[in-house]
Each structure stands twice: as structure tokens, then as C-alpha cells.
Structure 1
């Protein structure tokens, strides 16, 4: 570890803003909760303060895993329900009813369908997937088994009426119990939080809380205070690429249409940069910017990304701002700031017709031009709600047409196309977890939300055969939810091969 290696807490505090946006909460909600949790851990003299710190900061690390299902269950405005869901005591009939009255709001007669779906289907699979994926991502970040366990138990309750295991009391990790108290103190205040002790919350931790722990949050630099609160010795990261890759998958889990998009863009951009003889430093900056270019997507509701028809004007305004959101998230960290502006350039075009800046010509570096071309090619070759994926040849034709129209850089487009050609597998690839080629096909369909019947029809097999494949896949890769299976496929590159 060298002195130039950035602090892990600094990186994760910046990236936690993406979690806040995905939860439709104000920026810095996660770091405020983290600071309060760190103060509670000091009062309680908890042995493993580091796990408390990271488990609270990254409490919502699995929150993108289920947005697709939430839209199906609760309607296109499901994202707006997340702040209410986070503060709702599910064991209170009054609070649960208040939440239910918001389900499907604004959908007219379809609202009854969403309410019925929520009541009959329930949210058990959704909640389990959030916990499972959050735990898997924490493991990839190298935060230790304690943090992974605490995130898996994220939605457990002191009274044993939580998810996914129904754990009770001290069966729940101490970091999870502290994180819940700290989070509720920040979002609903101490008085409401105290009313929930012995039911939702650990009464001993609630008793250790007083309002002095939150009284100064609007007066101090919460960002710096949270960094200062990280337990010593401070951790540094030597693998910025893996951290970026983890958050790339976090973003792409937002919709089955996006699976593998960010890592695919990064692979294309990195190889194109090599072909164009960019130096190692420029390649590293471009690769990381490509991995993190779509962080701002989480600020836009999944229902917008999955709209099958033309975007409405209000939708389009949100979409146009997502590169800017990516830049603002990344710019919060000194270590990530060098890639912030580049990441925000992925939808700019040479003729000034891109967004959000309408930058043109000389304002766009070679790296920005490569990133725009790589993002365009990867998007064209993936399914989208309004169209099927283009063939590699069809995508190439469309991109060359944009070159002719003065939108994309011809040299960079040719480098990206060459990089894409080298990615076409001409040999048998080794498969993770002992999966067979047929199981890979099933996994891709499963991850995108296909039912057993859908898989059977697509692969021309019996439904029973499809069911056997699904069970074997879950057993081999060690997960139990569609979202976790999707994350496994993404982190092993199975959507880009």
C-alpha cells in the first residue's frame, strides 16, 4: 500500500450518494446515518466499530436489485414509495395502511391491480433479494464477513418479524441493530424512533441514543466529520478498478435491459484506447470513467428507463441530467474527481447535439470521444424496451452513419468496432461455478426475469427441464433470488460474451 492509495472511506462516502439517490433520499442521508452510528458504537463500546461504520454507510447497497420488480408490484411511481417504506413500521396496521394507500397512485383503474398485487404477492422476494445482493456486493468490496453478514440481515427486526430470516434480538448482528437505530434517528427523529423500541429496534441501543447525537448535523461539515469518524487504522484501496466495477454492477442491476452495460462499455473503451495508443494513465482514467459513467442513472425512476414508447418531456429532462448526476457524485471524492468530467461526457456529440452540456468539437478529448462511441455501440447491441438489440453489423452501420453526420469521431468509432470484433468469442470459454453452456443460456434468461415457462418456450425444452436447470444453477452459484443470479452473471461477464 503506497501513500498515493486513496482512503476507502473517502471513496465510499462519495459513492454512497448514489445509494441516497437510488432510495429517493436527500444526498448525505447515508453519511449522516453513518456518523450517528459511529457515535452510538463509541457510547456502547462496541468491539467491531469498523463493521458498524461500513454496514451503516452502505446500508442500501442492494437497493437497485429490485427496482424492476417494484414497478411491476407497485406501479410506475414505485421509486417515490421508497422513503415512505423506509420509515414505515410494518408491524403497525395504521402505518402499513398509510403505505398501501400510496401504492399505484396516479394509475387510474390500474391502481386496484397494483394494490391487489402488493397484497397477494407481497414483498418477501424483493426484500430477500435486496439483502442477498447487498451482502454479495460488500464481499466484493472486501469489507469483511461481518459487513456482509450485517447487510444480509439489513431488514431484520428486534421482535423477529423482519426479513429475510426472521431473526430476533441478539441473533441480529450488532452492526445491523445500530445501523437501524441511527438511520431511523436521522430520517424520522428521536421521538418517533424511541416509540419503536422493543418492536422494530433494539431497546438497549435506543436507550443509548439521545438527541445530542444528531443535534449538530445541520451545523457541521458532515462529510468531513464522517471521514474523521472512520475507525483507525484507516483503510486504503489498491484496486480502484474493482471498486468501480462493483458499483458499475450496482447501477446496471437497476433494469434487466442494463445488465452488463457499464462493464461492456469499459471493456470496449479500454481496448479502443490501447489500439489508439493512449498511455497507461489515460487508459486507466478512461476505463474507470467508463465503469462509473452511468452512476447518475439511479436518480431516474426505473419506470422511465423501461418505458416502451416515446419518453414524455418530463422523463426526457430527467434522462438528460443523468450524466450530470454521475459527475456530481464522482466529484465529491478527490480520488474520483479526475474521472468525473470525463464520465459525464458519454452522451456528448461532436456537433453539439449531445447532452447535458451540448459540448462540441475541440471541447471533447480523445478519451471522451472513445467513451461516447463505446457507450453507443454497447447500447445498440443490447435489448431496450422500445427495440430489440441490433446485430454487431447493424450497430456498426448505425455508428458509421453517425460519423458521416458529424456526431461521432470516425477514428474512435473504428477503434471501438475493432475492439468489439476482437471480443467475439471464437473459442470455447471456461464457465464459472461449473455451469454448462445450456445453463449459461438459462441463467441469462432467468436473470432478466423470465419465468420457467418462458425459459422452456425460448429454449424449446419442457417446463420441468427448465425448472431442473434453474434449481441446478441456484445450487451451483450459491444464491436464491433472481437479482443475486443477475449479479453473479454480471460479475462473471456472462452478458458480454
Structure 2
């Protein structure tokens, strides 16, 4: 997988946070790139344009709690912002109209007064935080300095009335000026067609947008605006650019996924480190259950990304201090669906996403988003669910304080007794967390070693392969296989494989 493919997938989560359909950012990049060809964007700056486009809105998670405190639903706030030129009287109407949205009239009046008295100081501070935070992400990912510089200029304007104040005109990097226009016209084109896209570009010419870019865009709008019904294939988009196609090493991929996880957790004031914690705990539990090293690594990556769908959940729901309404719970349930959708492409992420989306499923079918149960949940999904629950319990949330490790372990055990968590997975998670966990046998009385051997032979390993991989004699490996067949009532590798699948011991994607 290349970094470009990963960030293109991550941009789908950014779309959710903007209240836009998935692929908004990708389509905006297409518009900016095509327009750039007509205004002389140097070839070497095309790569910077791509990364600026993919990352520009990622920083919105950095100030999501603050935006929620000032303007209510942060996703609705950002979505509505595309209709306004955010400077002068237009900006005042927008911010005043959204101050404390959803609150009582008295609070809205006070919020509007505070906004006027401080001249929007908190809004400016949020923009600065956004830019600096996402710039640090670019640095962590090893992107070139022009990308970081461009991201720090994201809230600038051609007329110099943006953030930082006074930076405008040609002092703004050309890739940024191109994306400023493309980000807005993509929304207006999707809603109102080519005429509406051209109209908003001309209306903001010389204020928000570079006049020369507006003029070039209006001349070729019919050619550069993508068809609304088109479906963007990530690999096709970057196929012609060798720089974007460079594959990540395994260690680089882990660093990139950790960065995505950290940014996802920023959506809430109470979730810092949650995704990393779940990932490490799930991986440690899988190791205790003798998962192969590659599956442990895969499960850790799924843990890092299991909450990426939360980008589609407003902070007012995510950090609500009281009980959630039915409609709010439905949005929470959708977050697991969004996780699976965001990670559905490219293929290298789809496998991770299939596991990540299981983090909130339960053995009795009461989880979400699919409501699957029992053997339909692979062991990796059961481990992830237990790890996610335990880790969440020992972290504070808006509606409760953090539980102690002992209290959390008792809750997890109660969930096992109630049939919602898998006993073997929960015990492995608790053992990995250092709070005990009983040694249990698997289905049909299989020992942990026999379960490990069953997974191997189900994937096609011979007796010799099992012996070599586990460092045991061929005779011992054969004895393990005979006992597996006896305990499971199997007579061949195929029937043993079916037993493993029916009991959730094997991910169907392995076969």
C-alpha cells in the first residue's frame, strides 16, 4: 500500500466530518489538479497538491470539541459553511446564526454577544490549532516541507483576511489556492450543477479566491468538473504518478496508521490514546491465544482503525454528558458502518476494515452495526470487542468517570456471563491487561495449542509444515492433528476447517 492510497481512504472519513458525501475531497483534488494544468502548476508541485488536498480537512478533528462548544453540531456547522464567504458581514451572519446552535434562546443570545465582544477570538484560535495540528501530522508522515507549509496556509484568503491575518495573494502557495477554489466549487457543482459552481467562483473572485485561477476555471469548468455519477477508483487516480505510487514499508505503514488513529481520537476530549490502547491490548491477547505473527499484526492495525467511523459522529453526541436519544444512538451505530465503508478500499485496507468493523458486535447479536452473533464473529473480532470494551471502561467519558482496572475486569466478566462477550477472548484480554483471566479450553475441549494447529491445517498446512512452524517433531504434530479430529468429530482437513469456521476460530477471509 502507498501512503497516497492510505490518505485517500482517510479522506473519506474527513468527508464524513464535513457533512459531505464520501469522495468530496477526492473530487475536489481532481478539480484542483485539472485546473492546475491550465494555470501552469509545475509538475513537481502536483504531489504537494495531492497531499494538501487529502490532509487539509483532517485537522478539523483537532478543534471539534471547541467547535461543538461554540456552535453545536460541528458536522452541520462545517457543512453549512460552504454556503458562505467567511469574511466580513457574510462571516458574521454565519457565525452568529450558528452560535450555540440547538441550545435555548437565552444561551444563543449570550453566545452571540460573546462572539462579538471577542471579535471571534476562539474561532481564530481553532483555525490556528487546526493548521498546526495537521501540519505536525504531515511531518510525522515524512512529507516534504511544501506540504506542511501549504497546510499551515489552509485558512488564508486571497484578500489577506484569513488566518494568519495578512497573508494573501501570491504569498499563498499555488497548490493551496487551487484547492481553496476546488473545495468549494465541488460542493456547489454537486448541488446546483456547472452554472452554480461557476457562479460561486465568480462571486468570491478576488476575495477568497485567486482571480487568475477563477478565470481559468470558469473557462474550462465543463471539462474539469467530474461527472456526479462517476465513481472514483483510488488506484486509477494515482496510477500515473510514480511519486504517489511508492509503497510503504511495514514499519512506515504502522506509523501512518498510528497517526490516523491519534487523529481519530482527537474528535473527543476523553478518547486520547484509546485507539492505540485497544490495538496494543488486542494484539497482546491474540499473542496469548497463539495467533500467527502476521495475524497479530493485522489485528493490531484493525484496533488502530476501529473507530475511524467516528468522524461521522458529531461531538455533541460523542461527548454528550447524559443519556443518548434514540436518534443519537442510531448515529452511534452507524459509526461502525462508516468504519467498514471508509476502509473498503483499497484491498489492503479492506481486510483490516472487515475486522475493525466488528469491534462493537456482541456474541448474542445485540451489537452493531450488523448485529451478527456467535460463530459468525471470527475470533479476531471477539478479541477486538473485548479489548475495546475493557479499554473504554478504564477511560473517562463525558457521562461517567473512568473505572478502576478491577471494576472494568468485573464488568467484562459479567458481559461474558450474560453471553455478550466470548469467554476465551475476554480471558485473553484480561490476562494481557494483567488482571488474570482463567485458562479455558476452546470449543470441543480443544487446548490453545490444538486450536493453533487447527487454524494452521485449515489454511492448508501439512503435518510437516505444522512441525516446522511450531518447532516440534513430526510425530507430535501428528498427535495434535489426531486429537483435533477426535475432539471435533472430523475425518479430514475439510471437515476440520468447517468446524473451525462454524465456531469462529478462523476468519473466512483466510480461505
Normalising TM by the smaller chain, what interval? 0.7 to 0.9
Per the alignment, residue 202 of structure 2 pairs with: 194
1:270-325 residue CA offsets vs partner (Å, 9 max, x unmatched): 11111111002211211111000001111111111111111101101111111111
1:10 matched to 2:21: no
More moved, 267-276 vs 107-116? 107-116
The answer to whether the 8 A contact 1:158-1:202 is kept is: yes
Instruction: Tell me which residue corresponds to 1:81.
Output: 77
Distance 1:106 1:303, change over 3 A: closer
Q: Which residue of 1 aligns with 2:20?
A: 25
Deviation at 1:46, TM superposition (A): 1.9
For 2:339 and 2:136, the matched residues in 1 are separated by: 23
SS at match of 1:421: coil
Q: Give the direction of change, closer, same or farther, for the CA distance of 1:229–1:157 in structure 2 (3 Å limit).
A: farther
- Cα distance between partner residues in 1 of 2:33 and 2:236: 8
| Aligned-residue CA RMSD (Å) | 2.0
Higher relative contact order (CA 8 A, sep 6+): 1
Against the structure 1 CA distance between its residues 259 and 230, is the aligned structure 2 distance closer, same or farther, given a 3 Å change threshold?
farther
Measure the CA separation in 1 of the matches of 2:33 and 2:273.
35
Aligned partner of 1:107 in structure 2 is: 103
TM-aligned CA deviation for residue 87 of structure 1: 4.1
Deviation at 1:133, TM superposition (A): 0.9
- For structure 1, the 5+ residue unaligned runs are 1-5, 423-497
The aligned residue for residue 395 of structure 2 is 382
1:164-175 correspondence to structure 2 within 5 Å: 164-175=164-175
Q: Tell me, yes or no, if structure 1 residue 65 matches structure 2 residue 62.
A: yes
- State whether residues 84 and 90 of structure 2, in contact with CA within 8 Å, keep that contact through their aligned partners in structure 1: no
Q: Distance in 1 between matches of 2:225 and 2:153?
A: 29
- Cα shift at 1:219: 4.8
Q: CA deviation at 1:378?
A: 0.6
- The equivalences for 1:245-394 within 5 A come to 245-394=258-407
Matches within 5 A, 1:205-224: 205-209=213-217, 210-223=220-233
Residues 361, 371 of structure 2: 8 Å contact kept = yes
SS in structure 2 opposite 1:389? coil
Counterpart CA distance in 1 for 2:411 and 2:424 is 15
1:274–1:174 distance in 2 versus 1, CA, 3 Å: same
The match for 1:236 is: 247
* 2: CA distance, partners of 1:104 / 1:214: 38
- 1:128-178: CA deviations, max 9, x gaps? 011111111122222221111111110011111111353122221221111
Deviation sequence 1:188-242 (CA, Å, 0-9, x none): 3122112222221112222221312444432543345971476334332222222
Q: TM-score, normalised by structure 2?
A: 0.78
CA deviation profile, 1:340-394 (whole Å, cap 9, x unmatched): 2211111111122211222111111111111011101110000011111011111
Task: String of CA shifts for 1:68-101, please: whole Å, max 9, x gaps.
Answer: 11121123x3331112224421224145314522
Q: Deviations over 1:51-70 (max 9, x none)?
A: 01211122201010111111
Q: Which structure 2 residue ranges, 5 or more long, are not aligned?
A: 189-196, 436-511
Partner of 1:44: 39
